Structure 1
Amino acid sequence: MAHQTLSRRRRWRRLLRRSRDSVTRYVGNHPLVAGMAGTLIAAAMAGLTLLTLQLGRADALDHARQTSQNLVSIISSDLERNVEIYDLSLQSMVDGARDPVVNALPPDLRRSVLFDRATTAAYLGGAYVIGPAGEVTAAQDAAINAAVRFADRDYFLVHQRSPTVGLYFSHPFHSRLRDGKLSIGLTRRVDNAKGEFAGIALLAIRIEYFQRLLDRIDTGQLGSVFIVMDDGTLLARKPFLGRDIGTSIAKSPTFQVMAERNAGTYVAVSSVDGVRRMYTFARVPGTPLIASVAPSVDEVLAPWWHRSRITGLLTLTFGAVFVMVSWALAFALRDRQRAQTALVRLAATDPLTGLSNRRVLDSRLDEEWRRARRTRQSLSALFIDIDHFKHFNDAYGHASGDEALIAVAESISATVRRSVDLVARYGGEEFAVLLPDTSAEGSRVVAEKIRRKVQAQSVLQSDGKTIPVTVSIGCATCIPADGAPASDLLGAADRQLYAAKAGGRNRVCSALQTAQSVEQDSSS
């Protein structure tokens, strides 16, 4: 078992090493991949950061929405509970006002029966029983101003006109009994024994009660929280503006959304101060009231913006550095690849003629020899030598000799055009041509073309004189036999070269046909 585990580990290590080497070779052969990969990685990092920031923004808004919902729930619960208590007091007042026994009691005793302890709450402005003509028939405190009438109040008229109203919330009004203090009235109808209208029971709630609820809510410097009636009448607001209390916001686009639903959250720009807020609202059960909390979106997102700027700056900085390093590496790898390519080319190229050198010839010959032996195809080689080159150098100088070598190399390259063929400088004034899949006749045709091409060339000296140049060429063709060395082919071509020189130069000799092919120009 231990041996198998060790073997598996070794196989994994070998696999990882091969994968790493493959990636290294690929990047080395394609240097710009490193720069593009670095750019893509940096872009991916930026994309992930942007996605994370967007998720963080959504989380911040969602957290603000949940917090606002909790605050709205607290406000709504407080209002619902107190309204329920006040309504019980109103019902008790209605029952007492309808009872003839209670009405027959002395004033102090009747007052104690009609008004329970709930009517003494801190933010209640007073508890009253009002008669059918709008006069106060009983009050929580002993003093009753008989001259004051309430027959014109909305909370009186609505009950007078309809016996089915139930609990009614009035619009804000300035109290006639408490020096004009702003209040709202909670009222219920009082009927006589015949079911006719006999007045109302009234609890006056001071506006300060609603404002006290809102003062405990922190929505930031630009946030807002308010309580409004379902017809758009504003009861309380934070930040507090006294002139707005009792006014209608029914035409405001922000309120119109609230009027259509029981609860919800939406983002809108306030028509009052132009601040973009997240409005979370809910109707208070059993009442015509709507509680809303509206923090500023900018303040909600301020911590997120702070983190986002830092994160974005760091991501941009590191991403830019990563991209620059990646492209610097890519350019360094490219320059290294170019240098290596140049070195390989220099190592494989004759610096004077630009042809392949002896090393490339030997390697290619061995390769083509094995291939020809495997496919049983013929392989031909040419050996080319410039005639009387030593005498040429002695007579005209080494500069002219170099020009002659270049002219001959260009002539050979212009004649041998197949991509599979190889032209190489063998050494000195000798050249070699390797012709795969070429018969003896075909190689002889190529050799004749080269000879004619060179013969048509002339080397131009510095004094303007031209010097004719000729070459002798030896050809050899064979189908490699098993066990035979590749050098035999070049040896055969070399022997034919010497035969061409011995035959008078400027001619082609073939290993399979020793007949001479001589062309003499007018100067020969």
Structure 2
Amino acid sequence: MIVSRTPSTTGKSKRPERLLICGSLLSVIAIVCIVTFLLIREHASAQESATRSATTIAQLIDADVLRTVELYDLTLQGLIAAAQRDDLQNVSPQIRHLALFDRSTTARYKGDILLLDRLGNVVADSSRVEPKPGNFADRDYFLAHAFNRDIGMFISRPFQTRCDCDEANQWRISFSRRISTQTGEFAGVAVASLKLDYFDQLFNSLDIGKDSTLNIINSDGVLLAQKPYLQSDSVGKSFGNRPNVLKILSDKDGKGSFTSTSSMDQQQRLYTYSRVGNLPLTVMVALSSDAVFGTWRRTALLISGATGVLCVGLLWLTWLLARELRLRQRAERELGQLAATDDLTGVANRRMLDQTLRHEWFRAQRSGQPLSVMMIDADHFKAFNDRHGHQAGDQALKTLAQVIGENVRRPADLVARYGGEEFSVILAETDSQGAQRIAEHIRQAVEQLPRVDEAERAMTVSIGIATWTTVSEMTLEQLLFAADKALYQAKEGGRNRVVVAS
């Protein structure tokens, strides 16, 4: 066994392996971070591109709806101006009809254009010279104008026609304006209806992709139009309590975009919305998440898979290389141990003794601490070897090395086989008294070893000690010579004793 404090190579030997593993892990982390950053950036780019496209679609719808509403407003203003002319009261019904509804012929997808008196009765109808009797005092637009003189143009909720005709139950919305007397009193309502087929035609001219929807809602969240219809009876229903609609209607800017789950079909969508001018209408473009991010997802899957394979391959190659390094380091340690160990006794050999002695000598010179060297020789070993044979002699040397090692316990000390039956012990930072105590322990322990034969004398050792201190003037060679000389003095003095060099 070797008891020594020699420069450790364990940390140094493991450092290349650790550096390799750390380098590979850092490389994998860097690759993953870069790929993740690029994928996140591409995701944001895909969303930004989809938002721009949806915003363009919303702006096209806004512009068309604004032109149509302005046209209907001009029609209503012309109807009111004509109705307030006194000279039309005495003309024929045909001429009066032409004067009242002259501007209405340019309105697209127009329904009925009516002139109602203050009681809600039909006074004039764009579809016939003699108006069909009817009362619309219960309509929301009539009630709005009757009780609010400053409402301006009013856009009604969607409604279905009441007539017994081909257009019965057709969905429409109406645009209306108040008719007031010269004193400001309520005199009736001019109202023009728009067929919601207009929005279907407008939406059909736009391509928004699969599973995406176009919607127009009013300020109360009532759905006016949708493409495609997610529910057959959704037109005219209020969705003002739905989270997405609430978020859109509560936005003061009236435009923006966000990603959310549809409450109607539970699909993830990118919502882009825009208010139509100053009108209580909002265009909402809901693009399917698959349409927006489908290409990105396929690309991300491909890149992630390739990156995963690359990282796994890199880590696998690192593991193989690290294993080879470990095997090589283990072999180097075993070779180093074999090169520094005596084959028979297992303690340090002469080569290791010389290296350690020089190391401790220079360290003692720097620190000023004492350095002791102990020379140990088995007494009468040649006679023992001749009498019991080489195998018993070898076993005796192994036992002696074990006893010496058990009594030299500090990591800084070294037990080495000097040659034949002679051993040497290096005691760093140990004065002569300390070395003598250790030597006595060794001598007594050897003397108490069991005998090979009852008639045989007990195994003993002779020990010589030399110590260097700062007050002594000796070289390393002189220190070894002094220890060796003390050993011979012990032998000449009768053996089985410890002698300290003077």
Pick aligned residue for 2:275 from 267, 283, 300: 283
Query: Is residue 32–residue 334 contact of structure 1 (8 Å, CA) maintained in 2?
Result: no
Cα RMSD (Å): 3.5
Query: Is residue 125–residue 132 contact of structure 2 (8 Å, CA) maintained in 1?
Result: no
User: In 2, Cα distance between the equivalents of 1:375 and 1:202?
Assistant: 110
Equivalent in the alignment of 1:381: 373
Structure 1's 29 and 459: CA in aligned 2 closer, same or farther, altered over 3 A? farther
Equivalent in the alignment of 1:186: 175
- The Cα shift of 1:81 comes to 2.4
Query: Is residue 34–residue 327 contact of structure 1 (8 Å, CA) maintained in 2?
Result: no
More relative contact order, 1 or 2 (CA 8 Å, 6+ apart): 2
| SS of alignment partner, residue 457 of structure 1 | coil
Query: Is residue 80–residue 190 contact of structure 2 (8 Å, CA) maintained in 1?
Result: yes
Equivalent in the alignment of 1:69: 55
Pairs within 5 Å for 1:241-252: 243-252=233-242
Equivalent in the alignment of 2:65: 79
User: In 2, Cα distance between the equivalents of 1:407 and 1:27?
Assistant: 33
- The Cα shift of 1:157 comes to 5.2
Determine whether 1:39 maps to 2:25.
yes
How much identity, in percent, do the aligned residues show? Answer: 36
Equivalent in the alignment of 1:417: 409
The aligned amino acid for 1:221 is K
Equivalent in the alignment of 2:329: 337
Structure 1's 187 and 416: CA in aligned 2 closer, same or farther, altered over 3 A? closer
| SS of alignment partner, residue 287 of structure 1 | coil
Equivalent in the alignment of 2:205: 216
Structure 1's 492 and 197: CA in aligned 2 closer, same or farther, altered over 3 A? closer
- The Cα shift of 1:426 comes to 0.7
Equivalent in the alignment of 1:498: 488
Cα distance per residue 1:378-435 (max 9 Å; x no partner): 5433322222323322221211011110111122222333443332101111112233
Query: Is residue 68–residue 107 contact of structure 2 (8 Å, CA) maintained in 1?
Result: no
Determine whether 1:225 maps to 2:217.
no
- Unaligned 5+ segments in structure 1 are 1-24, 513-524
Equivalent in the alignment of 1:322: 314
Equivalent in the alignment of 1:432: 424
- The Cα shift of 1:511 comes to 3.5
Equivalent in the alignment of 2:106: 120
| SS of alignment partner, residue 220 of structure 2 | coil
User: In 1, Cα distance between the equivalents of 2:301 and 2:39?
Assistant: 10
Q: TM-score, normalised by structure 2?
A: 0.83
- Unaligned 5+ segments in structure 2 are 1-10
Structure 1's 27 and 56: CA in aligned 2 closer, same or farther, altered over 3 A? farther
- The Cα shift of 1:293 comes to 1.3
Query: Is residue 142–residue 189 contact of structure 2 (8 Å, CA) maintained in 1?
Result: yes
User: In 1, Cα distance between the equivalents of 2:460 and 2:31?
Assistant: 68
Query: Is residue 277–residue 294 contact of structure 1 (8 Å, CA) maintained in 2?
Result: yes
Equivalent in the alignment of 2:6: none
Q: TM-score, normalised by structure 1?
A: 0.80
- The Cα shift of 1:127 comes to 4.1
Cα distance per residue 1:262-295 (max 9 Å; x no partner): 4244444333323333333333234332221112
User: In 1, Cα distance between the equivalents of 2:194 and 2:430?
Assistant: 116
Number of residue pairs aligned between Structure 1 and Structure 2 = 485
- The Cα shift of 1:62 comes to 4.0
Runs of 4+ in 1 over 6 A off after TM superposition: 464-467, 480-483
| SS of alignment partner, residue 70 of structure 1 | helix
Query: Is residue 151–residue 157 contact of structure 1 (8 Å, CA) maintained in 2?
Result: no
Query: Is residue 13–residue 329 contact of structure 2 (8 Å, CA) maintained in 1?
Result: no
Pick aligned residue for 1:364 from 356, 359, 372: 356
| SS of alignment partner, residue 282 of structure 2 | strand
